[in-house]
Structure 1
Amino acid sequence: MSPDLDRLWHLGVESARFRAVLQDAAPDARVPTCPDWDVADLVWHLTEVQYFWAAVVRQQQTDLDRVDTENLTRPVKYRELLRLSDRCTRDLVAVLRRTPPGTPVWTWAEDQSAGFVLRRQAHEALIHRVDAECVTDERSGMDPTLAADGVDEALRVMFGGAPSWAELTVDEHAAVRVTCTDTGHAWHVSLARYAGTDEEGTDQAGGTLQIALLDPGTPTAAHVSAAAADLDCWLWGRPPPGEVNLSGDVAVLAGLREVVSAGVQ
């Protein structure tokens, strides 16, 4: 992805836009993209997430059980909740600014670094900004480079690979090319399955994706193409502002959609 992408700046900007959109929203209004939540729940979610990751990075802990987080109390008044959200964003941005990206910290992923936290939190803020705008029906543009980075993260980190204890079986004939029509980024995605016994002795199996390090340009069974913002929203189960074009083998496209739908958080 682009080395010029300033994820720290985007983290601050997207978080601020998130709150600005919801400033005058009814706290009990439902969030259409997260139907179990109302607006206050959505604000509280991002507040808690940013508070937690600021603590992880600040303490530079590599063991989750040793992360010291004081209880964060949810304000009853909505205006106080928005102010707390703002403070948590500023704290997270500040601690990430002074922490080198390669600093080891605990994460739930293979990449155990502050850089992973920065990338994940930039996209956490972006996607929840989209949620906020879906509440108020006032969608605004998404930075194409940031959105393309979000597509890469979604495919490789959120939906791709397999646990260390599992065996991965790749269907080389079930490949999809995913293309950002505005930025030129492309990914060669193969449907796969994992199976194995987890750390607790339970047999597990499921669908996943294998993403080529670089797109080899070889023919694929199906193709998904759209502007980066549309692809990012589509992968996260949010309404794309534009059109997503799907072509090719219907069964392969259904398999891709099944993996993506199961992995959306």
Structure 2
Amino acid sequence: MTRLSHVDYLAHLRRDSARFREVLATCDPEARVPACPDWSAADLLWHLGEVQWFWSQVISHRPAGPPEDDAHPERPGDHGGLLAFFDRSSADLTAALAAADPAEPAWSWADDQQTVGFTFRRQAHEALIHRLDAEQAAGVVTPLDPTLAADGVAELVEVMYGGEPPAWGRFEPGEGQVAIELTDVGTTIRVSPGMFFGTDPDSGRSYDGPHLLVVPAEGEPTATVRGTASAVDTWIWKRNGDAEITWTGDAGPRERFLAAIGSALN
């Protein structure tokens, strides 16, 4: 219900990357990033530049896997160098995506989403949230696009904090379901909060823990969380508090939902 066209994702990626760069060009490089207090504004600039470099390589060399560790660029030593690196990385990523078919095979860390389309969506949201980080560091926050923010909520519960389990894992739902009502866009997303159990056979790593699964809206939800798309998106991303979020319904599903989104994302 929330997906944008790939043309729109690319347009958002360009706009939010440009705003990110505009803000950090004049921000004190040592300013702290509120949502990531260990980061300075300069660290944030390097982070998104490196992320966009990485995904430009993935798309440019599709369907091969990610670049080797020794191919990664070194961090520039000054603010001007960081800005220039970001400019190159951002231009390379948008050019690579503009020349690609979203349906083409391409590596991603999501086992069930091995296409270029994953990167269109993921990098639009990456740029949006880090644009907000830059604005919060500089004290010049501007509104988020509500349609992109609504899809950001969907991506969080479908991919970042949930999703269909792989063949080597299983999902055990808890009692009750949560409806996420995005009041300004007329969208409701229903999720089942529960537990994921499984060990990745390739890495040997266990991923047991709280998990969300998007489910059809059948019957009444056991609990409901309400807010604008921007309020819910930035709350789940830990970029804003819950002052604009309201809950109704049973405490059990609410607590399981909060456990599933408990870890911070950078």
Other-structure match for 2:209: 206
Which contiguous aligned blocks of 4+ residues in structure 1 show a shift greater than 6 angstroms? none
8 Å contact kept, 1:19–1:82: yes
Deviations 1:154-210 (A, max 9, x none): 110111133431121112x32100011011111111111122333155655211011
Alpha carbons of 1:27 and 1:175: their partners in 2 closer, same or farther (altered >3 Å)? Answer: same
Other-structure match for 2:188: 186
Quick check: 69-78 or 9-18, which moved more? Answer: 69-78
8 Å contact kept, 1:187–1:211: yes
Whole-Å separation in 2 of the counterparts to 1:30 and 1:3: 32
Deviations 1:195-251 (A, max 9, x none): 233315565521101101x433x2112111111111110111111697111222223
Whole-Å separation in 1 of the counterparts to 2:88 and 2:113: 27
- Share of identical aligned residues, percent? 39
> For 1:16, what is the secondary structure of its paired residue?
helix
Alpha carbons of 1:204 and 1:98: their partners in 2 closer, same or farther (altered >3 Å)? Answer: closer
Deviations 1:100-146 (A, max 9, x none): 00110110002001110110000000000111111122210111111
* Alignment gaps of 5+ in structure 2: none
> For 1:61, what is the secondary structure of its paired residue?
coil
Whole-Å separation in 2 of the counterparts to 1:140 and 1:197: 42
Whole-Å separation in 2 of the counterparts to 1:108 and 1:206: 19
Quick check: 125-134 or 23-32, which moved more? Answer: 23-32
Other-structure match for 2:156: 154
Q: TM-score, normalised by structure 1?
A: 0.91
Other-structure match for 2:252: 251
Whole-Å separation in 2 of the counterparts to 1:201 and 1:67: 21
CA RMSD of aligned residues (A): 2.0
Q: What amino acid is the match of 2:188?
A: A
> 1:1-80 alignment to 2 at 5 Å?
1-4=2-5, 6-64=8-66, 70-80=71-81
Whole-Å separation in 2 of the counterparts to 1:94 and 1:240: 36
Count of aligned pairs between the two proteins? 261
* Alignment gaps of 5+ in structure 1: none
Quick check: 160-169 or 110-119, which moved more? Answer: 160-169
Q: What amino acid is the match of 1:135?
A: A
> For 1:208, what is the secondary structure of its paired residue?
strand
Q: What amino acid is the match of 1:84?
A: F
Cα deviation for residue 16 of structure 1 reads 0.7
Cα deviation for residue 8 of structure 1 reads 0.1
Q: TM-score, normalised by structure 2?
A: 0.91
Q: What amino acid is the match of 2:169?
A: A
Cα deviation for residue 61 of structure 1 reads 2.7
> For 1:23, what is the secondary structure of its paired residue?
helix
